[in-house]
Chain A
């Protein structure tokens, strides 16, 4: 046990201030301290991606980042991506194309996909498979996840073109 430190983290647009041991992993800060339970824990070794969040514009696996490393940063979780009144196209596409089964990987998967599509708005199937390889799903075999991301990408492109 070590001395508690003062941290300030912005999560889904809301500034959170608290005292915590520096060794606390960010995933526990989110899940247990802040009750943000969308991101899950699957491996604690950065392999499965169930805990994926976005920090200062990058996809990060929250199970292997200390809270101290997240101090002062801006964190987005699945809860900040879309809700009942403002579903993100990816959330809708995963439902439409059966891109999930048990749902455990889904928050991390969609969170990663939002970043991936920002980086590469019109990806090929191969690019999707490579860009999403940090997120493991045990149920779907990925085929419908790829389809969901392709569909969301198409929809988001259409919206962008209409706006231009």
Chain B
């Protein structure tokens, strides 16, 4: 049968097949495989001893590990704090920039720079800024009198997590600004004009027009940001490697350490599965409770 003899439906299935092969082979199947590994004792250092089925033993071991709960706590704290800040600042900036002014294109272009820089490289940049000897942040704060001596921002467990959050906010707020700005520009100007005629003030306009009309784009942006933050790996790996004393270790980082430093694939996969379930739960909450319709076009 030649390709030109195909009916519409046959062609449809043939065209979509390669994408489905990738998705099933490289994403769906491996997730089940991760679950399978998490139920076996697979230690690459002693692989010759076999890979016996151990049921939920790995799960029990991980749940008794304080480091796991610490990583979960760090991940939740990081996600909640950085995404809140990003949404708040991004929304504010979008509202301010949503007008015509000179130099608008420069602002818009500069907004894309942190987005385009690889996360790891922004981690390297911030590590230099935070440095306790040659870091410019210490320099500025000393000159302004905020601090009396240099602070080791990322070498100190009380400031390390906040340092990571600030770096993430720097990298991602512009992106949020961009998404919300795009949403703002879809709101018809006439709505504001007629509100003005009805005597509404700026605040009422914001509450009654801007927020309701932006609701779905805000929720979608929020979901994407929370999921990305929940998976955080590269930024932390480069900035602090999860330290000092695991105070910035995220779930992804902890899983990666177990897998590729300890070569304990069984227990590492448990943490991978938990991260996956976390993402699933967050998406479920958004789709079911907030009614985010992601397939809307």
Query: Do A and B form a real pair?
Result: no
B residues whose Cβ falls under 8 Å from a Cβ of A? none
